[in-house]
Amino acid sequence: MSSTSARIGEDSELAWSFPMQGQSHFTWEYDSERESLLSLYQKGKDKQWDSTKRIDWSLEVDPCDALGTPEHTLGLYGSNQYAKLNAQEKRELRQHMAAWEFSQFLHGEQGAMICSARIVESVPDLDSKFYASTQVMDEARHVELFSRFVQEKIEMSYPISPHLKTLLGETLSGSHWDMPYLGMQVLIEGLALAAFGILRDKTTKPLPKQILSYIMQDEARHVAFGRLALRDYYKNLSSQELAEREEFIIEGCYLMRDRLRMQEVWENLGFDMKECMEYMNNGPRMRAFRSLLFTRIVPCVKDIGLWSPRIQKAYDDMGVLDLAGADLVKLMESDELQAEALDAERREMEARRDEVHEAIAQGALAASGPDGSTPAG
């Protein structure tokens, strides 16, 4: 971490390790049968990109206003605690909130990198191994991107939230090969996609918009991969096996919902914890925000076949059951198109700058004398 970056809530544990269960699978069946997965693998190869070249890291970022979002969109806005803050304290709060949020994105992407590597090792079929190998590279790029943005631009980082850590641990420690798919591709990646999309659409700052848009282009493929693989597999499971997966989904969704309350931020800033947590649980902005965060998860869970009355009751309790009808394919297509549109816009701006520079150079040449010097006036 750079010398100007602050690590908030630092403790003695800068690494986390635990034994993994399960088996590694080799297969000698090299005749691939699932064209949909092979097409996704080809797309994964075609869409690789270099974060040092595609992202314009020269763009300036105010660490205390990294996203430029309107004040009224902040989760704590409207609370008594927020009303007590002066202008400088509000700027400090913005930095801490952005640091916490992007730090969790960073930790989640490292978890995704490890999960996708685990999928390469444990998934039985070669088609899935092919695609998951491209995802390992994608997730490494995402870790690189978020790490650089947190350290160099926000200049502050937070440790992994207890709720995300718990879900990652359960995702990686299960003995069934499909659990990394279910925990990462459906839950963690699904929630991240929705969170990225909300911030991408709200931010007025070009650098975070680039980062979020381009990462979402990758993540759209990852969620599609999880859906294809799990939908086929779950058709053949027993009711008891499906119930086990549903229990994991329900617990994971509650964990992901609860991790959004940012209690570490309020603790570090010395805010009234009881008031902050009450407002984050029941405030109007956070209720709407939580609902939006499940737009990718709920239809995906239904699509892969985990749609028992128990699952539906849990989503009804969370107030997100009506999201089951969302069109996942259209959402993913929109994510990809927005990234491509951003690329086209940047190419157009670069072309205009080149034209201006060329016109200035031609003007300077025309004004100079035969020997290149400027004639005396």
Q: What's the CATH number where 99 sits?
A: 1.10.620.20
Q: How much is the pTM? A: 0.85
* 77 in a structural domain: yes
> Containing H/E element for 142?
helix 126-148
Query: Which amino acid is present at 129?
Result: K
> Containing H/E element for 310?
helix 309-318
* 254 in a structural domain: yes
Helix (H), strand (E), coil (C) string for 87-140: HHHHHHHHHHHHHHHHHHHHHHHHHHHHHHHHHHHHCCCHHHHHHHHHHHHHHH
Query: How many domains would you assign to the chain?
Result: 1
List, in order, residues 6 or more apart from 24 with CB less than 8 Å away.
Answer: 121, 122
Question: What is the pLDDT, as a whole number, of residue 372?
Answer: 58
Question: What is the pLDDT, as a whole number, of residue 366?
Answer: 76
Question: What is the pLDDT, as a whole number, of residue 354?
Answer: 76
CA distance 253 to 316: 12
> Containing H/E element for 7?
strand 6-7
* 367 in a structural domain: no
List, in order, residues 6 or more apart from 104 with CB less than 8 Å away.
Answer: 158, 160, 161, 164, 259
Q: Hey, what are 172's tokens? A: 């990686």
Q: Per-residue pLDDT tens for 215-246?
A: 999 988 888 888 888 988 899 999 999 999 99
* 311 in a structural domain: yes
CA distance 137 to 135: 5
* 353 in a structural domain: no
* 288 in a structural domain: yes
Show the domain range for 189: 36-334
CA distance 90 to 128: 47
Distances from the Cα of 9 to the Cα of 139, 160, 221, angstroms: 25, 10, 34
Q: Along the chain (377 residues), what's the average pLDDT of each consecutive run of 10 residues?
A: 63 64 66 72 88 94 95 90 96 96 94 91 84 92 97 95 89 85 87 90 95 92 84 91 94 82 92 92 78 88 94 92 90 87 85 80 73 56
* 98 in a structural domain: yes
Question: What is the pLDDT, as a whole number, of residue 30?
Answer: 59
CA distance 235 to 188: 23
* 350 in a structural domain: no
Report yes or no: 44 and 135 within 8 Å, Cβ to Cβ: yes
Q: Per-residue pLDDT tens for 269-286?
A: 999 999 999 998 887 777
Query: Which amino acid is present at 370?
Result: P
